[in-house]
Amino acid sequence: MRGTFAKDGMKLMMAAAAMGFMLFVTGGVSAKAVDVIPNNEKPSRTGADGKQYEYENFGNYIAALLETNDELTFQSGKEYTLPYSIKIPKGRNITINAEGATIYITKGAISNADDNKKTGGYGAIAGLTINGGTWKSVDSKGGITSAFKIAQGKNITLKNMTIECANAGSHSVEIVACKDVLIENCKITPLGSSNGKEEQLQIDLASPATAGDVLEGKGLDGSTCQNVQIIKCEVTGNRGIGINADVKNAKGAGKKDRGKYQNKYHKNITISDCIITGNKAEGLMAYNIIGLKVTGNTIISKASAKKANYSSGIHALNQGSGNKMTVTIQNNTVEGGKQAIFVGSNGAKIKKATVTNNTVTNHSKNAVVAVVGCKSQKVKGNK
């Protein structure tokens, strides 16, 4: 049965005085772990006063568990239904284990807690690890907003997950202005259909135009993503993976806010050993990055060559005014419409581009690999 209410595997009886003293002294909670009981079992939790509290609303139950536990385990073989996203508290290092579990998503899977959407920088989440689980929308057409919205945190790991949450016109996973991120051995696919060019996995910056529905106020400070590794993942979408910039023609903000942070750059983004497919746009779109490395992947765009650069297997572009962007694309198998690989600039020249030893195919009479607008470039061994 979908969604079963959660069994407190710890059966934790708190020593109220000791815990109260610790909370008073430290202002935080000790690292504790708990099993989450499925929705169809009556969920309860032992409070700091030693009493058992029952929760009719599963979301309230999860929130209560996070008050005193840093590690949640969704039990293998069990099914759960989240009525709304699990809100990650500020200043805590949270681990969610879900290997073998199925979590149905109603209105989101993971997001920042309401009080840490205005933090700015990278202090909103001290650490988050999610290991395993099949995360799937209850709507066969998928959700129309991002299921995983993780913003302005550090030490973020998503691994061994199967994610089928968003409509093809939205994002399943949105990483906004985070540093030290690992996404490994995850399979991300859309539900339903759309004619849009949205990516299923988005790496974004904290700008009003690109992240106004995730952050607010001082949180929209232009901070970017740093030290991101996407390894051994399979990502399919209208666009597979998108690494975003705040360009002047971006949608989603007032005209005066568009392009406010166009000269901001992500740093050190590595994509390796992945299978990435864009059904209606690029397999990989990568804008404004200092230290982009794309190696050992299979990357395909199924878009018509009529969509120009949006039909590239890999579309790497400098949108900013600084000669900062550096690109390394090596040892990939890439297929596209107009080009398999396009590297270029709408702003200042790219500082350095290395495009070597890729197996490439395109479906037009244009050059299969196009590298333009670079101060320094090395293009060879592509066949």
The DSSP secondary structure of 88-107, one letter per residue, reads EPTT-EEEEE-TT-EEEESS
**148 forms bridges with which residues in the sheet?**
110, 173
pTM summary value: 0.90
Tell me the torsion sign for CA atoms 356, 360, 365, 366: negative
In the chain, alpha helices (H): 16-26, 58-68, 208-211
Q: How far is residue 370's CA from residue 186's CA, in Å, rounded to a whole number?
A: 30
pLDDT given for residue 5 in this prediction: 41
Q: Among 25, 29, 27, 28, which residue's Cα sits nearest to residue 12?
A: 29
Q: Cβ neighbours of residue 19 under 8 Å, at least 6 residues apart?
A: 48
Return the pLDDT at 9: 39
Residue 46 confidence (pLDDT): 76
Residue 336 in 3-state DSSP? strand
**Strand-strand pairing, 162-164 and 187-188:** parallel
Cα of 68 vs its chain's centroid, Å? 26
Tokens representing 333 are 């198998």
Q: What b/e readout covers 77-111, taking b as 16+ CB neighbours within 10 angstroms? A: ebbbbbbbbbbbbbebbbbbbbeebbbbbbebbbb
- If phi > 0 it is left, if psi is from -120 to 50 it is alpha, else beta; for residue 271 that is beta
Return the pLDDT at 250.
Answer: 66
Tokens of 309: 């650069």
Q: So what's the pLDDT on residue 42? A: 82
For the chain (383 residues), the mean pLDDT of every run of 10, in chain order, is: 42 34 38 90 80 87 94 98 96 97 97 87 96 97 92 98 96 98 99 93 95 91 98 99 90 73 98 99 98 99 96 98 96 98 96 99 96 98 97
Q: How far apart are CA 280 and CA 168, in angstroms?
A: 10
Separation CA 165–CA 360 (nearest Å): 31
> In the prediction, which pLDDT does 248 show?
86
